């Protein structure tokens, strides 16, 4: 008996390690596509559910999807209500693992066939680099999944004489409640509902448990998988905590409804399938997740309001998206940095635009000085992001963020030069371009999602051309004795301020747009289009 138990535990370990390796490789290989799907198509609860189901089916991990979504919420790329739809879909997508196990892993003995695949995958992962190495990890993980399943099947066949449904809590209401708690505990410990579901399917196929007992275990595993999401939000932002609470509440509610209906559903499935057919359990798992999503989709708005009341909090701070937990994923960390940079930039534009208007306004130096701690936090966060050398798109994006930060700090410095700014609204030649820049800043601050980098760049070029002409005009006026020398330097300093401020504003927006693009096929130099550095 001890050999069989050890074999079962070893099989679970191989399956778990294989799933983790496969999920990690799939997440790396499909990371850009997964993130694009979630960010682009999660515009409503329905599209969020569809994109959540699709991405979870691809990467074979609802926990990975939820951690990504929580990172998106923390970075400000998704709102909390948008994330709720993804929660529904992730629960549906994770049932694909059960179907793979039931239809392939248990119907066919693929463990022996997978051994050569394990060798090829391990050698490729060890000797190759970049994408090819990840493909090798994917193949090795996929092979380990089926080797682990074969070990579990052989182990359960060896101790079927003593492991029977009577050993576990009875197939009654109280017994099923205990099994539900056991399933949740197992998932919390091993941090993988997929491994737990696979083990349950193996036990069901060997006759060690009944369909009712297996269904109770699976419900508990669905509830237990929310623990990972809760851990990901400890100390996180308000909306990150709301997303994790919504995930937990949804799984508990759907699990409670499914548990209440076990007495009705299990007999129906027992008649529709063979007594020990694992497809019956997978059908149950899929149905209660699909029905739960269908019921909750129309109720998303009141559900979101309920969670918002349960988890109150203030509005998002400028640096709230700089969550240290995002640093484990370079793209997630850059999402947070991008959101923070855009928020700070909008505040700079608001301060500068408030002054550069016909009636004037308060000088922006005070508001910009209050932004310095946020800029320091952004600098510290950017310095901690680690990008893989072979990930060209991520390297391009990181470079764009660094360029954006550089231009933001230069713009902040300009906005504190009060002596130069005061002349902009009193000199006839400088007033018109200064007001044009102020109007562009106010528009950008009011509608940050619709800032036109090309329009700002055109304005910066026009201002540069106009200030050059004005500079020549002022020098001629000084030669003619129309302008005193002390006024000459003040005017040229103001012109230089205007030209450089417009340039830094345009470039900060330009690099912000580059950081949000997904153009991996372009070389770094072509993608960044670095402009000649301006003296400061």
Does residue 316 sit within a domain? Answer: no
Domain boundary among 252, 277, 310: 310
> What DSSP assignment string belongs to 12-61?
HHHHHHHHHHHHHHHHHHSHHHHHHHHHHH-SSHHHHHHHHHHHHHHHT-
Q: Where are the alpha helices (DSSP H) in 159-237?
A: 173-190, 193-205, 211-224, 226-232
Q: CA 150, CA 15: separation in Å to the nearest integer?
A: 10
Query: What is residue 221's predicted lDDT score, i.e. its pLDDT?
Result: 87
Does residue 317 sit within a domain? Answer: no
Model confidence over 368-426: pLDDT tens digits? 999 999 999 999 999 999 988 877 888 888 999 999 999 999 999 999 988 888 888 87
Does residue 535 sit within a domain? Answer: no
Q: CA 230, CA 149: separation in Å to the nearest integer?
A: 29
Query: What is residue 107's predicted lDDT score, i.e. its pLDDT?
Result: 57
CB-based contact 362:273 (threshold 8 Å): no
Strands (DSSP E) contained in 12-73 are none
Q: In terms of domains, do 303 and 331 share one? A: no
Does residue 15 sit within a domain? Answer: yes
Helices (runs of H) and strands (runs of E) counted in the chain: 24, 0
Structure token pair of residue 200 = 């349950």
For CA atoms 135, 138, 143, 146, the dihedral sign is: negative
Q: In terms of domains, do 124 and 234 share one? A: yes
Dihedral, 147, 152, 154, 158 alpha carbons, nearest 10? 160
Does residue 33 sit within a domain? Answer: yes
Dihedral, 466, 468, 472, 475 alpha carbons, nearest 10? 110
Does residue 110 sit within a domain? Answer: yes
Query: What is residue 67's predicted lDDT score, i.e. its pLDDT?
Result: 65
Q: In terms of domains, do 384 and 489 share one? A: yes
Number of domains in the chain: 2
Q: In terms of domains, do 257 and 352 share one? A: no
Domain boundary among 275, 310, 345: 310
Q: In terms of domains, do 304 and 239 share one? A: yes
The alpha carbon of residue 258 and the mean position of all alpha carbons in its chain are separated, in whole angstroms, by 30
Q: In terms of domains, do 305 and 338 share one? A: no
CB-based contact 98:202 (threshold 8 Å): no
Q: In terms of domains, do 302 and 249 share one? A: yes
Over its C-alpha atoms, the chain yields an Rg (Å, rounded) of: 30
Q: In terms of domains, do 435 and 366 share one? A: yes
Residue 137 Cα distances to 29, 198, 325, angstroms = 11, 21, 25
Count of Cβ atoms closer than 10 Å to residue 450 Cβ: 8
Q: In terms of domains, do 306 and 371 share one? A: no
The alpha carbon of residue 379 and the mean position of all alpha carbons in its chain are separated, in whole angstroms, by 21
DSSP state of 159: S
Residue 285 Cα distances to 91, 153, 154, 288, 358, angstroms = 10, 21, 25, 6, 65
Q: Using the structure block, give the residue that is written with the tokens 């892993």.
A: 105
Query: What is residue 377's predicted lDDT score, i.e. its pLDDT?
Result: 92
- Count Cβ atoms within 10 A of the Cβ of residue 443 and give its class: 0-12 exposed, 13-18 middle, 19 or more buried: middle
Domain boundary among 310, 336, 362: 310
Q: In terms of domains, do 277 and 383 share one? A: no
Does residue 468 sit within a domain? Answer: yes
Q: In terms of domains, do 305 and 334 share one? A: no
Q: Using the structure block, give the residue that is written with the tokens 């694009």.
A: 36
Residues (pLDDT < 70) of the chain are 1, 4, 19, 23-24, 26-41, 59-64, 67, 70-71, 74-77, 105-112, 153-168, 171, 190-192, 228-229, 231-237, 313-316, 325, 448-450, 469-490, 517-536
What's the pTM value of the predicted model, to 2 decimals? 0.64
Say which residues have a Cβ less than 8 Å from residue 350's Cβ, sequence separation at least 6.
367, 441, 442, 445
Does residue 406 sit within a domain? Answer: yes
Residue 385 φ/ψ, nearest 5 degrees: -75, 130
Q: In terms of domains, do 196 and 279 share one? A: yes
Q: CA 40, CA 47: separation in Å to the nearest integer?
A: 10
Range of the domain at 107: 2-310
Q: Where are the alpha helices (DSSP H) in 101-172?
A: 111-127, 130-158
HSE at residue 453, side-chain half, CA atoms within 13 A, is: 13
CATH number of the domain encompassing residue 377 = 1.20.58
Query: What is residue 315's predicted lDDT score, i.e. its pLDDT?
Result: 53
């Amino acid at each position: 008996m001890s050999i069989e138990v050890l074999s079962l535990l070893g099989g679970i370990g191989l399956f778990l390690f294989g799933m983790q390796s496969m999920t990690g490789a799939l997440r790396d290989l499909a990371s850009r596509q997964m993130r694009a799907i979630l960010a682009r198509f999660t515009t409503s609860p329905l599209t969020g559910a569809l994109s959540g189901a699709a991405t979870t089916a691809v990467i074979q991990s609802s926990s990975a999807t939820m951690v990504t979504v929580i990172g998106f919420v923390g970075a400000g790329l998704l709102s909390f209500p948008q994330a709720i739809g993804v929660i529904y879909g992730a629960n549906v997508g994770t049932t694909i693992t059960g179907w793979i196990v039931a239809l392939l892993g248990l119907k066919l003995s693929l463990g022996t066939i997978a051994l050569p695949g394990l060798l090829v995958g391990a050698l490729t992962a060890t000797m190759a680099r970049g994408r090819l190495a990840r493909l090798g990890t994917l193949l090795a993980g996929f092979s380990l999944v089926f080797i682990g399943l074969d070990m579990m099947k052989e182990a359960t066949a060896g101790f079927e004489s003593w492991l029977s449904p009577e050993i576990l809590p009875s197939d009654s209401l109280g017994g099923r409640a205990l099994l539900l708690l056991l399933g949740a505990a197992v998932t919390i410990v091993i941090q993988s509902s997929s491994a737990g579901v696979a083990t349950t399917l193996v036990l069901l196929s060997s006759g060690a448990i009944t369909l009712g007992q297996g269904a109770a275990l699976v419900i508990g595993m669905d509830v237990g998988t929310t623990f990972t999401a809760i851990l990901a939000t400890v100390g996180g932002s308000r909306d990150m905590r709301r997303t994790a609470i919504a995930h937990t509440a949804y799984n508990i509610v759907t699990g409670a409804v499914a548990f209440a209906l076990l007495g009705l559903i299990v007999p129906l499935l027992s008649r529709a399938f063979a007594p020990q057919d694992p497809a019956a359990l997978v059908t149950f798992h899929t149905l209660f997740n699909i029905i739960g999503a269908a019921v909750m989709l129309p109720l998303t708005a009141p559900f979101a309001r309920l969670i918002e009341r349960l988890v109150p909090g203030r509005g998002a701070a400028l640096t709230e998206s700089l969550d240290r937990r995002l640093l484990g994923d370079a793209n997630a960390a850059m999402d947070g940095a991008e959101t923070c940079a855009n928020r700070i930039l909008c505040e700079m534009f608001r301060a500068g635009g408030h002054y550069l208007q016909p009636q004037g306004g308060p000088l922006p130096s005070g508001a910009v000085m209050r932004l310095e701690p946020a800029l320091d936090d952004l600098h510290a966060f950017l310095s901690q992001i680690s990008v893989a050398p072979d990930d060209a798109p991520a390297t391009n994006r990181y470079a764009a963020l660094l360029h954006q930060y550089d231009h933001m700090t230069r713009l902040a410095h300009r906005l504190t030069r009060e002596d130069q700014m005061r002349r902009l609204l009193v000199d006839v030649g400088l007033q018109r371009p200064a007001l044009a820049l102020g109007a562009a800043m106010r528009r950008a601050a009011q509608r940050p999602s619709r800032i036109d980098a090309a329009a700002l760049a055109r304005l910066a070029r026009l201002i540069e051309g106009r200030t050059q002409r004005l500079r020549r005009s002022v020098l001629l006026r000084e030669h003619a004795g129309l302008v005193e020398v002390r006024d000459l330097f003040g005017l040229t300093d103001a012109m230089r301020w205007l030209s450089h401020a417009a340039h830094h504003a345009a470039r900060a927006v330009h690099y912000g747009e580059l950081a949000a693009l997904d153009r991996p096929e372009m070389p770094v130099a072509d993608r960044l289009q670095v402009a000649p550095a301006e003296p400061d």
